[in-house]
Amino acid sequence: MKRVFAISVLFIVFGLGFAAASAGKDSCRECHLEAGDELAAPVHAMDTEDVHASRGFSCAACHGGDPGADDQEAAMSKARGFVGVPKPSEIPQFCGRCHADPQIMRKYSVSVPTDQLEKYWTSQHGQALKGGNAEVATCASCHGSHAIYPANNPKSSVWPTNVPQTCNHCHGNAELMGKFGLKPDSFKEYSEGVHGKALLERRDTGAPACNDCHGNHGAAPPGFESVAQVCRQCHVNNAEMFMASPHKAAFDAAELPECVACHANHRILPPDESWLGAVGEHSCGQCHSQGDRGFEVAQQIKALVDSLRIMEENAVELVGQVERRGIPVGEVRAALAETREALLKSRTIIHTADVRKVAEAAHAGIERAAAAQEMGRAGLAAFEYRKRGLGIATIFISLLILAIWLWLRHLEGR
Amino acid sequence: MGNPPNLLAAIYGWLNERFGIDAAVAFGKKKVVPVHRESVWYYFGGVTLFLFIIQVFTGILLLLYYRPGADSSFESLQFILTQVEFGWLIRSVHSWSANLMVLAAFIHMFSNFFTQSYRRPRELTWITGMVLFLLALGFGFSGYLLPWNELAFFATKVGTDIVGAVPIVGKPMLIFLRGGEDVTGATLSRFFGFHVAVLPMVFTLLLGLHVLFVQVQGMSEPVSHQALGSDKKRTMPFFPNFVLRDVVLWLVVLNIVAILSVFFPWDLGEKADLFAPAPAGIKPEWYFLFMFQTLKFIPGHVLFLEGELLGILVFGLAGLLWILIPFLDRRGQKNQRNPVFQLMGWIIVAFIVVMTIVGFVL
């Protein structure tokens, strides 16, 4: 019964809005534009590519009232459904009137999700709001209020490359974050990490923004035991190898946040072999120490990957020398690519913490690197052969020139 | 069986009886080459000829393995460079000697301009030489596309676009050159045809005429040398003195080509991709660069004409006047120096050099 009533109210509100629009009368716009400044700002904002305005919604569609009425009091009377400006705590429910209702939303798209409100109440934001804290993000905090672009519009505040700044609007506010016991430097750390550089500097929208790991409407930090599940969305192999490794149980027991324990959360730096050593904030040495089994395994894995990396670097240098001498290196390039692939594979297999598996991948790469080096040396030898040939030809040509010159001198009696 | 000298003498006698070789030898022995301070420029015609001969030989060797086609040109070049014994050398010598040939032709042409060698009665020698020069540029343009690599593909696209901008005949010429609207495998096929059949045939015929004219009329003397009394003129026998000097220079050039080919082998680059965007900094071969750069500097519109069209018309007209120089240089016809033409020549050389450098730098 309640549902029927709610739908009826909404239809009346929409009906009035549409009726006014179809009659060409919108007293909300007229008065607010006339008032100017702050009161006119929402109208100007709606005149951009606002998703609601572009689908024919007037102010009254959300705020109620009667845009057909000339009189301000009549237009903004509660009797005509005027709800005014919602308080922040009312916004989720305010937007949810339509966005949580499949019957309404399917009129605009059959595939549009309608679970945002439900998810919101499970989020850290929603939970805090429920608990009476109104200083948390609601729909408008992220999406804006009057110039709301569709999420697939690059101008939208929730377009991937804009998300970090949108979140940072609150999460970079030290005073506000202090109230929740959170650090305000997530954005800075994220920007310095591989994901931030990819998304913000290279504009690679495939790179994760805040919401890809934390969720958007249901935003919450992943628990320490489920970090790998978050990272596996992209890093499938690494996560699966970790889950099957002895580290999974040990990390859970020690309440270590899985991937984050070594890679950090926001400031994720490109890993290198030094992490397999004893020293450094990301290193195995954080948990393992000289003499324990894990440390030995780390040392063995490090030796294998180091060997492959050094072999690869030498092969690349050698092939570069050959290339600079103008010798074609087509086939060697293939061997180098295979070496590179083996190095990447070895670095991934590290997550198994299994020396045997790492050795298998590393040895395959070392073999290809050795083949590339061999081809590189053959290229250098070919260049030496060319130089020798040129030297012999030059001597021969020079002798011929000398002989002809002497003959000429003889002929000309000099 | 007689001994070898007798056999050679018999063969010589047999041929002489039929073709009058004695007369040609006598002509060669009698022929003299003027000796003066400009004589050095005589050798550049020979150098250009020598580089053309290298082109023919290396071109024929490349033909043994080269397979024209959008799917095979680049691959066959790769094969030549990596699998064929000395294939890299032949390909590099072909590319380097092609560029040096155009350079030698430039020097030959300008040295003849400045020494006014085109003067009566050598007008046709100049004109055949000019046509040979244009054909050499045609060889360069058509040969550049044959490896079917990225740079060649886009340079051909730009080059044929410029041809397409010529009024009235431009569009049909573009279609004819490309074998359609765009540069495709069809363009490659016909460029190959031009490069190995049409151009060599026409070039060889004209080259024969050009050399014949030089032999019949002898070397041109500069105005100042011609005015000297016969007692003050120095000469050297064409054979063997001049020919031996020619051979010495040819050997030096051969060595330069070999050194360049070993230390700076011609790069093959990346295979052409018809759907890839044009890489930045596409430039034609250096000998077209001054024209290309000039076209870039001309504003989009000059009066009622499109800038590019104006550039093409100016270059076309300048080329035509250049060919007709023997008939325009009235003072030259009277065996007098022409300071205006000399100054104009130096301005043209400076323009070409500066625009080529600017083209490389920008």
CATH code, B97? 1.20.810.10
Strand partners, B305: B302
- Give the position of tokens 């002489």: B16
Contact call for A408 and B258, based on CB within 8 A:
no
Residue B227 within any structural domain of the chain: no
Residue B231 within any structural domain of the chain: no
Residue A22 — very low, low, confident or very high, per pLDDT cuts 50/70/90?
very low
Taking the CA of residue A414 and the nearest CA in chain B, the distance in Å comes to: 13
Residue A177 within any structural domain of the chain: no
Q: Tell me the pLDDT of chain A averaged across its residues.
A: 87
Instruction: Classify residue B166 by burial, with Cβ atoms within 10 Å: 0-12, 13-18, 19+.
Output: middle
Taking the CA of residue B60 and the nearest CA in chain A, the distance in Å comes to: 22
Same domain, A301 and A353: yes
CB burial readout A72-94, b (16+ within 10 A) else e: eeebbeeebbbbeebebbebbeb
Q: Report which of B151, B352, B114 is spatially closest to residue B269, judged by C-alpha positions.
A: B151
- Which structural domain, as residue segments, surrounds residue A230? 222-269
Look at chain B and report how many structural domains it folds into.
Answer: 1
Residue A141 within any structural domain of the chain: no
Residue B236 within any structural domain of the chain: no
What value does the mean pLDDT take over residues A183-203?
93
Please determine, for residue B15, whether its predicted confidence score (pLDDT) is greater than 90: yes
Whole-angstrom Cα distance, residue B134 to residue B140?
10
How high is the pLDDT of residue A3? 52
Whole-angstrom Cα distance, residue A93 to residue A86?
10
Residue B218 within any structural domain of the chain: yes
Residues in chain A within 8 Å Cβ distance of B252: 401
Question: Does B244 lie at the interface with A, CB-CB under 8 angstroms?
Answer: yes
Residue A16 — very low, low, confident or very high, per pLDDT cuts 50/70/90?
very low
Please determine, for residue A180, whether its predicted confidence score (pLDDT) is greater than 70: yes
Q: What is the pLDDT of residues A261-304, one digit of tens each?
A: 888 889 999 888 888 877 777 788 888 888 888 889 999 999 99
Contact call for B262 and A328, based on CB within 8 A:
no
Please determine, for residue A306, whether its predicted confidence score (pLDDT) is greater than 50: yes
How high is the pLDDT of residue A24? 60
Look at A396 and A105; give whichever has higher pLDDT: A396
Residue B1 within any structural domain of the chain: no
Q: Scanning every residue of chain B, which has its alpha carbon at the shortest distance from the alpha carbon of A389?
A: B262
Residue A218 — very low, low, confident or very high, per pLDDT cuts 50/70/90?
confident
Question: Does A38 lie at the interface with B, CB-CB under 8 angstroms?
Answer: no
Please determine, for residue A18, whether its predicted confidence score (pLDDT) is greater than 80: no
Q: B252, B255, B256: best mutation site toward chain A, by most A Cβ within 10 Å?
A: B255
Residue A119 within any structural domain of the chain: no
Residue B235 within any structural domain of the chain: no
Q: What is the pLDDT of residues B27-70, one digit of tens each?
A: 877 889 999 989 999 999 999 999 999 999 999 999 999 999 99
Whole-angstrom Cα distance, residue B303 to residue A93?
67
Contact call for B265 and A393, based on CB within 8 A:
no
CA angle B341, B345, B349 (to 5 degrees): 170
For chain A, percent of residues with pLDDT exceeding 90: 45
HSE on the CB side for A29, CA within 13 Å? 18
Taking the CA of residue A317 and the nearest CA in chain B, the distance in Å comes to: 19
Region at B179 (left for phi over 0; alpha for psi -120 to 50; beta for the rest): left
Look at chain A and report how many structural domains it folds into.
Answer: 2
Residue A370 within any structural domain of the chain: yes
Q: What is the dihedral of CA A123, A129, A134, A139, to 10 degrees?
A: 50
Residue A369 — very low, low, confident or very high, per pLDDT cuts 50/70/90?
very high
Taking the CA of residue B170 and the nearest CA in chain A, the distance in Å comes to: 39
Closest CB to A401: pick one of B82, B240, B251: B251
**The token pair that represents A179 in the structure block:** 């109230």
Q: Scanning every residue of chain A, which has its alpha carbon at the shortest distance from the alpha carbon of B82?
A: A328
What value does the mean pLDDT take over residues B249-273?
93
Question: Does A12 lie at the interface with B, CB-CB under 8 angstroms?
Answer: no
**The token pair that represents A171 in the structure block:** 């999460």
Q: Report which of A217, A227, A301, A222 is spatially closest to residue A261, judged by C-alpha positions.
A: A227
Residue A5 within any structural domain of the chain: no
Whole-angstrom Cα distance, residue A30 to residue A234?
50
Q: Report which of B222, B192, B206 is spatially closest to residue B105, judged by C-alpha positions.
A: B206
Please determine, for residue B2, whether its predicted confidence score (pLDDT) is greater than 70: no
Residue A1 — very low, low, confident or very high, per pLDDT cuts 50/70/90?
very low
Taking the CA of residue B61 and the nearest CA in chain A, the distance in Å comes to: 19
Same domain, A301 and A350: yes
Question: Does A400 lie at the interface with B, CB-CB under 8 angstroms?
Answer: yes
Taking the CA of residue B265 and the nearest CA in chain A, the distance in Å comes to: 5
Whole-angstrom Cα distance, residue A47 to residue B270?
50
Which of A40-54, A122-136, A340-354, B183-197 is predicted least confidently?
A: A40-54
Asked if B62 and B91 count as a contact pair (C-beta separation under 8 A), the reply is yes
- Which structural domain, as residue segments, surrounds residue B164? 9-222+241-361
Please determine, for residue A11, whether its predicted confidence score (pLDDT) is greater than 80: no
Asked if A164 and A142 count as a contact pair (C-beta separation under 8 A), the reply is no
Q: Residues 325 to 354 of A: which have CB under 8 A from any B CB? A: 326-328, 330-331
Q: Report which of A49, A46, A69, A139 is spatially closest to residue A98, judged by C-alpha positions.
A: A139
Q: Scanning every residue of chain A, which has its alpha carbon at the shortest distance from the alpha carbon of B250?
A: A401
Contact call for A412 and B241, based on CB within 8 A:
yes
Residue A68 within any structural domain of the chain: no
Residue A307 within any structural domain of the chain: yes
Residue A376 within any structural domain of the chain: yes
Asked if A124 and A220 count as a contact pair (C-beta separation under 8 A), the reply is yes
Residues in chain A within 8 Å Cβ distance of B43: none
Whole-angstrom Cα distance, residue A124 to residue A112?
24
**The token pair that represents A18 in the structure block:** 């549409």
Is the overall model pTM greater than 0.95, yes or no?
no
Residues in chain B within 8 Å Cβ distance of A393: 255, 258
Residue B1 — very low, low, confident or very high, per pLDDT cuts 50/70/90?
very low
Whole-angstrom Cα distance, residue A146 to residue B224?
90
Same domain, A327 and A249: no
Residues in chain A within 8 Å Cβ distance of B255: 393-394, 397-398
Question: Does B106 lie at the interface with A, CB-CB under 8 angstroms?
Answer: no
Question: Does A393 lie at the interface with B, CB-CB under 8 angstroms?
Answer: yes
What value does the mean pLDDT take over residues A216-232?
80
Whole-angstrom Cα distance, residue A12 to residue A29?
20
Which of A336-345, B87-96, B104-113, B261-270 is predicted least confidently?
A: B261-270
Residues in chain A within 8 Å Cβ distance of B263: 326
